[in-house]
Amino acid sequence: MNLQHLIEQFISFQRSLGSSFVSDAAILRAFGRSLGSRASVAGVQVRHVDAFLGKARPVTRTWFTKLACLRCFFQYALSRGYLAKMPLPLTTPKRPPVFAPYIYTQQEIRRLLQVVDVHPRSVYLGPTTIRTMILLFYGSALRLREATNLTRADVDLHRSILTIRNTKFGKTRLVPVGPQLRQVLAQYERSLPNKGQPADTPFFVTTAAEPVKPNTFEYTFRILCDYAGIRRTDTREQPRIHDLRHTAAVHRLTFWYQRGADVQRLLHHLSVYLGHVHLRHTQVYLSMTPELLHEASKRFDSYARKEPGHA
């Protein structure tokens, strides 16, 4: 069986199950190209996999992502009789530490919004657009592309609902927004030119009325963080837009603890709001901060004191 043909068959199979399978498809196709168009599945050897993974390079999280993707593909090939055994390395290196997202403080978010009007003006993005997008990321915990893909029809301010289409997991979900965020979005909408645009017109546009590109906003956001003095010293990775999504989840959890809410029950609601398929995906976003740890400890202490035998 031709390797590249089976890869395409496997990609179609995964997508038939409802998975978008975009990044994994790119990995598998790159692997197929590395062996050439004439390579057969049965001819794949461990040395080919080692070469693709980059055995001599420092092992990163990407290395393990590629390995997991190849393992899934080879299991598929094995189950259909195209392989006698999986050509994977017998030993794997130690995993690198799990990346810890940056959790912005509320003071840092305020500083970000304050520097929007004083930082060197972006040629492509106006201050109103930048401010609205930052508040949207923090207020609704969207992913970057979920925000840049919004159309005017997706933003229903009458019902205070955003329609998020074709998400990371290939699903569409409805995201309610609170009154303050609704007011921010309405103010931005009033600033848009050409009110008679079609419903599929992008909601967030540049000064040239073009769709906001994710890399353009990422570049602008990095400049804003520098001007606001927001930097990390524990890693080379600097605070990202995506960390606003982590921050929104952590701040919400902290708020629930402070209000004495049933966090275990509400955690499921948060998972749906974030668009996660499994609850364990949400747990990744709930990175511990000193404030969150303090509130959780207070809750545990309160429960412990109610139990018989506790002082």
Rounded to the nearest integer, the mean pLDDT of the chain is: 84
In which residue are the tokens 């031709």 written?
2
Is 298 annotated in the active site? Answer: no
CA dihedral 66, 69, 71, 77 (to 10 degrees): -130
pLDDT over 90 percentage in the chain: 50
What pLDDT score does 300 carry?
A: 44
Q: Which of 6-20, 138-152, 290-304 has the lowest mean pLDDT?
A: 290-304
Residue 12: Cβ-neighbour burial (10 angstroms; 0-12, 13-18, 19+): exposed
SS3 234: coil
Q: How many CB atoms neighbour CB 47 within 10 A? A: 11
What pLDDT score does 308 carry?
A: 47
- pLDDT at residue 290 greater than cutoff 60: no
Do the beta carbons of residue 223 and residue 265 sit within 8 Å?
Answer: no
Please say whether the dihedral angle defined by the alpha carbons of residues 17, 21, 95 and 277, taken in this order, is positive or negative.
Answer: negative
Q: Which of 119, 240, 242, 281 is catalytic?
A: 242
Q: Which of 138, 188, 273, 285 is catalytic?
A: 285
Q: Which of 156-165, 254-263, 288-297 has the lowest mean pLDDT?
A: 288-297
Q: Which of 66, 143, 246, 252 is catalytic?
A: 143
Q: The sheet that has 173-176: what strands, in order across it?
A: 155-156, 161-164, 173-176
Is 143 annotated in the active site? Answer: yes
- pLDDT at residue 148 greater than cutoff 50: yes
Q: Which of 246, 251, 252, 276 is catalytic?
A: 276
**What would the pLDDT profile of 171-182 be if each residue is shown by its tens digit?**
788 899 999 999
Q: Which of 66-80, 115-129, 179-193 has the lowest mean pLDDT?
A: 115-129
Q: Which of 168, 240, 281, 299 is catalytic?
A: 168
Alpha helix stretches (DSSP H) within the chain:
3-16, 23-35, 46-53, 61-79, 106-115, 127-140, 144-148, 179-190, 214-228, 242-259, 263-274, 279-285, 290-306
Average pLDDT over residues 66-80: 95
Is 310 annotated in the active site? Answer: no
Report the C-alpha gap between 123 and 296 in whole angstroms: 45
Do the beta carbons of residue 161 and residue 217 sit within 8 Å?
Answer: no
**Residue 303 pLDDT grade (very low, low, confident, very high; cuts 50, 70, 90):** very low
Is 245 annotated in the active site? Answer: yes
What pLDDT score does 170 carry?
A: 64
Do the beta carbons of residue 20 and residue 168 sit within 8 Å?
Answer: yes
SS3 288: coil
Is 168 annotated in the active site? Answer: yes
Residue type, 57: R
Q: Which of 56-70, 177-191, 258-272, 280-294 has the lowest mean pLDDT?
A: 280-294
**What would the pLDDT profile of 204-249 be if each residue is shown by its tens digit?**
999 888 999 999 999 999 999 999 999 988 877 889 999 998 898 8
Tokens of 308: 């018989």
**What would the pLDDT profile of 19-41 be if each residue is shown by its tens digit?**
778 889 999 999 999 999 999 99
Average pLDDT over residues 44-65: 84
Q: Which of 63-67, 287-291, 292-296 has the highest mean pLDDT?
A: 63-67
Q: Which of 65-79, 165-179, 264-278, 284-298 has the lowest mean pLDDT?
A: 284-298
Do the beta carbons of residue 77 and residue 85 sit within 8 Å?
Answer: no
Do the beta carbons of residue 177 and residue 191 sit within 8 Å?
Answer: no
Q: Which of 131, 182, 245, 251 is catalytic?
A: 245
What pLDDT score does 182 carry?
A: 94
Is 285 annotated in the active site? Answer: yes
Tokens of 71: 């393992």
